[in-house]
Chain A
Amino acid sequence: MLTYIIRRLLVLIPVLIGVTLIIFSLMHLSGDPVRLMYGPNVPKEKIEEKRIELGLDKPLYAQYGNWITQILHGDFGRSIHVQDLVSNLIGARIGATLELTLVALLFTLLFSVPIGVVSAVKPYTVFDNAGRAFAIFWVSMPYFWLGLVFMLLFGVYLHWLPISGRGGPLWSIAGLRHILLPALTLGLPPLALFMRLVRSSMLEVINEDYIRTARSKGLHEGRVIFRHGLRNALIPVVTLLGLRLPWLFGGAVITETVFAWPGMGRLLVNAVMQRDYPVVQGIVLILATLVILSNLVADLVYAYLDPRIRYD
């Protein structure tokens, strides 16, 4: 297992280097990064001055080298619009983003697994067919619009829940009330997807020989389903979880913008709007790293759940 982990970590290095190359080139996409950041109305001398200050007069490979060296030292540069370090800006918001995505994910799993199991145990019933239509319905839902509808319904008309900001720590009442709508917005569309996956993978498992064996031993049906079936059915779910995390982060950007949730996503959108490229690069890099790490964790959990896969 340890060699497997080390090997997986080594494979990550080229991927990470590639990701930094993509992120680095983002800034040069439009041609002139200084013009991109400061707009067309700044005098020429000022632009030249900035170019030298930012090291943009050097050849590209030297710029990339500098940038990478800085990042390896934990220095993401300075924001152009706010007089602060990018690392400070991100550090102040990463907690809020992780909190939102984790609560949404928890919500997704808490509901998708039981509903998926019931659909699989009773396939082709009304419950199952409704589940199918329901799943496609939610997958078709635009996040940002769902958020607005929730705001309208539960905030503006019913006055049940606050519609913007973060109320406080998660364990406080205000914190819970504030996170409910954004987490629902972010968690409902993937819920449908996971529910269908749990169902199909459960259906496959139920037809396996060892389930028949477990039944013929006279085990209680609940025990067969949950101990023997579900454990094995969850393996593909774990993989999908790893694969779908990028979508969750993408959705978080939109959800945070709609609900004014003070996370990295909202910071990213504002930075893109203000062309504050050091901030954009920093956030994209952090998110990509999170995705890569979570894929790794998904892989390891996968290897743990299924003893047949001990890649050696």
Chain B
Amino acid sequence: MLERMRSSRRVRRFTRNRLALVGLGIVWVIILTSALASVISPYDPIEHNYDEMLQPPSGRHLMGTDDLGRDILSRVLYGSRYALLIGVAVVLLELAVGASMGFIAGYFGGKVDTVIMRVVDMVLAIPTLILAIAIAGALGGGLWVMIIAIAVAGWGEFSRLVRAQVLSLKELTYVEAVRATGAGNARIIFRHILPNSMGPVLVYTTLYMPTAILWSAALSFLGLGAQPPTPEWGSIIAEGRGFISYAWWIATFPGLAIMLTTFGFNCVGDGLRDALDPRFSRNV
């Protein structure tokens, strides 16, 4: 009963936050767009059309066309699929590696903790984006290589967050009480610690999605991610970069799409943080 009251209060706190609702709307639109890309796109995103090269935005091509006559709007709409795929894949991989490492470190403590956290220190000492660039370059680039490179370079912060969370929960009296009743590690972990550490992890995951999308776009922009002709936003911008002085629309619209997507996720994450942790709503 108390739990339900608390969760409804959280929902209310979230829905009263106008920015968070705007973000939720944006995320919803992006998800719909990626699901319906093949239906709502006016043209094929990959097929060349040499009769319509470098057309400025018009009624026929709302966002113009690129140097191969491809419709930018269609490419941007299809691009939402890649952005979501990359964001979700990176976050899942990092959760699998980073969160479990952090969990083990925090829960078991001692030498295990020291070793894992030293490894995290080492990984975090190398700027994530730079490590991701180096790994992706060594492995030869490509969509999945990039996803793995970002995940390998970035799991450290997840570990730190989860570890801190588990450490604070482990010391709480109710966990002590459960342990005193004779519950084993597995029961304590899955029934008590995991469910209670979900909140901050959820917030961080929502705030990490846009970061992963930004990084992947940067890697694709450098030519280390999705390869042409894939309609991935970062690589469309890279293609448009050479035409920036006389065909501004090629690079501009996919950039706006990236910004809108990351803005949406950031607003939702910000709202979730406020809703789940009342301490923050006063301060942040």
Cα(A19)–Cα(B123), bound, Å = 7
Question: Could you tell me the distance in whole angstroms from the C-beta of B134 to the nearest C-beta in chain A?
Answer: 5
- Which residues does chain B contribute within 8 Å of A250, judged by CB atoms? 127-130
Question: Could you tell me the distance in whole angstroms from the C-beta of B122 to the nearest C-beta in chain A?
Answer: 3
A29 touches which of B139, B222, B252, B259 (Cβ 8 Å): B139
B217 touching A142 by the CB < 8 A rule? yes
A1-29 interface code vs B (CB 8 A; 1 in, 0 out): 00000000000001110110111001101
Cα(A151)–Cα(B255), bound, Å = 14
Question: Could you tell me the distance in whole angstroms from the C-beta of B274 to the nearest C-beta in chain A?
Answer: 10
Nearest residue (CB) in B for A151 is: B244
List the one stretch of B161-169, B170-178, B260-268 in contact with chain A.
B260-268
Q: Tell me how many residues of B have a C-beta within 8 Å of chain A.
A: 49
Asked if B125 is an interface residue, CB under 8 A from chain A, the answer is yes
Asked if A152 is an interface residue, CB under 8 A from chain B, the answer is yes
Asked if B66 is an interface residue, CB under 8 A from chain A, the answer is no
A136 touching B19 by the CB < 8 A rule? yes
B245 touches which of A156, A249, A295 (Cβ 8 Å): A156
Please tell me the size bucket of the interface on A. 35 or more
Q: Which of A115-162 contact B (CB under 8 A)?
A: 132-133, 136-137, 139-145, 148-149, 151-152, 156
B126 touches which of A27, A136, A287 (Cβ 8 Å): A287
A291 touching B126 by the CB < 8 A rule? yes
- Which residues does chain A contribute within 8 Å of B266, judged by CB atoms? 136, 139-140
A148 touching B118 by the CB < 8 A rule? no
Question: Could you tell me the distance in whole angstroms from the C-beta of B284 to the nearest C-beta in chain A?
Answer: 5
Given the known interface contacts A29-B139, A249-B127, the answer about A149 and B255 at a Cβ–Cβ threshold of 8 Å is yes
List the one stretch of A51-59, A104-112, A165-173, A268-276 in contact with chain B.
A268-276
A residues contacting B by CB (< 8 A) are 14-16, 18-19, 21-23, 26-27, 29-30, 36, 132-133, 136-137, 139-145, 148-149, 151-152, 156, 196, 199-200, 203-204, 246-247, 249-251, 253-254, 257, 268-269, 272-273, 275, 277, 280, 284, 287-288, 291-292, 295
B residues contacting A by CB (< 8 A) are 19, 118-119, 121-131, 133-140, 210, 214, 217-218, 221-224, 234, 237, 241, 244-245, 248, 251-252, 255, 258-259, 262-263, 266-267, 270, 282-284
24 sampled A-B residue pairs with Cβ under 8 A: A15-B125, A26-B138, A29-B138, A30-B138, A30-B139, A136-B266, A140-B263, A142-B217, A142-B218, A145-B259, A148-B237, A148-B241, A156-B244, A196-B284, A203-B283, A250-B130, A251-B129, A254-B218, A254-B221, A273-B137, A275-B137, A277-B138, A284-B134, A287-B130
